[in-house]
Amino acid sequence: MKRLLLCLMVALYACTFAVESHACSLVVGLMNADRPPYFWKDNTGGYKGIFIDVLDEITKETGIFFSYKALPKARLRLYMIVGKIDVEMGISPQWRQRTAEVTNSVYTDSFMETKDVYVSNAALGRFYGEENIPIGSKFCGILGFHYPDIFEERQNFLSEEQLLQMIDKKRCHYSMMPDDIFRYLMLGHSYNIVAGQAVSSHLKLIRLNKQYEFLLPRFNAALQRMKDSGRLAAILECYK
């Protein structure tokens, strides 16, 4: 434990010193399955997407650099707690309510809003809320994600792309996902899938390990300048 605390203190000192010279580097944890338009790996092994573009702009504004580490969802959450990664993108605080997550996290201002929709095979029609979901239908979700309590039994997959393929083949009947992802993945596909109206909305923030709380003013100031200049809106528009 003493060794871990010493390592954290050294990392904090190094980053504090680096920020003053505009050369801090933080590790961003991403799921090890593509989630376009938020992020995905290109043919070179690098990342693209909304989250990456937002962080690239923050680098330009602050001199804080970011590297990326791909992890399963459960391990990503654990690594944030123990300090093996520094940043988690696109998180709403209510999604991270374990005691250790609450105490070791700080959040920036929001950089975008997302809306969740039910998606289903067109043969079943559109679902607009829990009250009109047919009893006995098979729900499928993403491994490690939280869903409403009515889904006591479900089949899990690694990505929204897999979910849409299973729904199209009628191996699953319906799922829930961000409307951004549904619309982006439907481009160029002829899936027999429809989405209902939004059933919930969330503001997406940047989650930092609490040891980097001193960076929050820099992050928030950068995000505000991006909003004022229209650069943030341009990034979001690019991926519609």
**113-200 fold:** D-Maltodextrin-Binding Protein; domain 2 (3.40.190)
- Residue segments in the chain with a per-residue pLDDT below the cut of 70: 1-23, 130-136, 149-153
Domains 2-111+205-238 and 113-200 are alike in CATH topology: yes
Q: Where are the domains of the chain?
A: 2-111+205-238, 113-200
**Sequential DSSP letters for 144-206:** T----TT--S-EEES-HHHHHHHHHTTSS-EEEEEHHHHHHHHTT----EEE----EEEEEEE
Instruction: Please tell me whether the overall predicted TM-score, pTM, comes out greater than 0.85 for this model.
Output: yes
Task: Find, among 2, 91, 79, 104, the residue nearest to 38 by Cα.
Answer: 91
Please report where in the chains the tokens 């970011």 appear, as a residue.
66
Tell me if the bond preceding 37 is cis, omega within 30° of 0: yes
Look at residue 15 in the predicted model and tell me its pLDDT: 57
What is the three-class DSSP state of 216? helix
Task: Give residue-wise pLDDT tens across range 29-52.
Answer: 999 999 999 999 998 989 999 999
Q: Which CATH number fits domain 2-111+205-238: 3.30.43.10, 3.40.190.10, 1.20.140.10, 3.30.590.10?
A: 3.40.190.10
* Rg of the chain taking only CA atoms, in angstroms: 19
CA distance linking residue 36 with residue 184, whole number of Å: 7
